[in-house]
Amino acid sequence: MKLIPAKTPSFVKSLFTNFTWNIDTKKQELYLTFDDGPTPEITPWVLEQLKTYNAKATFFCIGSNVEKHPEILKSIIDEGHTIGNHTYNHLKGWKHKTKDYLVDVELAQKAINKISLSNSKLFRPPYGKFKTKQAKQLQKSDYKIVMWDVLSFDWDVAVSQKECLDNIINSANEGSIIVMHDSLKAKQNLKYVIPKVLEYYSEKGFEFKALA
C-alpha cells in the first residue's frame, strides 16, 4: 500500500512555491518526465513510443549514466526532448553535506553540457529529497527545480501495471508534470503504461510537451 498519493497535495506545493510542480495552463498539455536514465535497455524504446505520437518529454539524467551512454543522450536531444540534471550519483540530499551535493550536481551538469548545447538548467532531486540550503544554493546557480504533480510509482514492484496506469489517468490534468522512470526497475510497468498513456490522452486532444 502506497504511503503517499499519486497526486501531489496542494498544501505541499504551497510550502515550496519556488519549485515547479506543474505548468499553469488551461491548454490540453501534459509534461511527461523520465528519471534515472539514460538506460540502454529502456530509453531508446521510450523514444520510439514518444516519436509515434510526436510527443516531447523531459529526461532527468544521472551524470554517471550520461558518461556511460552519451549516444543515447544525443538521441534524446536530437529528437527534440529536453534534458534535466538528476545529480551524478543519484544522491539523496538529506544524507550529504551541501558542499558535496553541489559538487555532484555540477559533475552531472558537465557531463550533460559535453553533449547538449542548451543553456537550460533543469534540476530534479533524486527521491524528491534535499536540504533547504542545497535548494537555495542551486537556485542561486540558476537551476530551475522541477518536482511533480503526478507520481506514477512505476518503479515500485508492489504497484501493478494497471495501478500504475490508473495513478496517471486518475490524477493528471492540464499542465500536469508526470514522473516516470527510464530505468530497469521500472521497465515492466513502463512498457505497459507509456503506450496507453500516449494513446489515451492523444485521443482526448492533449499535446505532450517538454519543459523549458
CB 126 within 8 A of CB 5: no
C-alpha 167/C-alpha 176 separation (Å) is 13
To the nearest whole number, what is the mean pLDDT of the chain? 96
Chain Cα centroid distance, residue 20: 12
- Residue 209 phi/psi, 5-degree rounding, is -120, 155
* pLDDT tens digit sequence for 19-60: 999 999 999 999 999 999 999 999 999 999 999 999 999 999
- Residue of 35, 104, 149, 182 marked catalytic: 35
When pLDDT is averaged across residues 118-131 and rounded to a whole number, the result is: 94
The amino acid occupying position 29 is E
Per-residue model confidence (pLDDT) at position 118: 87
How far does the chain reach from its first CA to its final CA, in angstroms?
34
* pLDDT tens digit sequence for 134-182: 999 999 999 999 999 999 999 999 999 999 999 999 999 999 999 999 9
C-alpha 78/C-alpha 56 separation (Å) is 11
- Residue of 96, 149, 181, 182 marked catalytic: 181
181 included as an active-site residue: yes
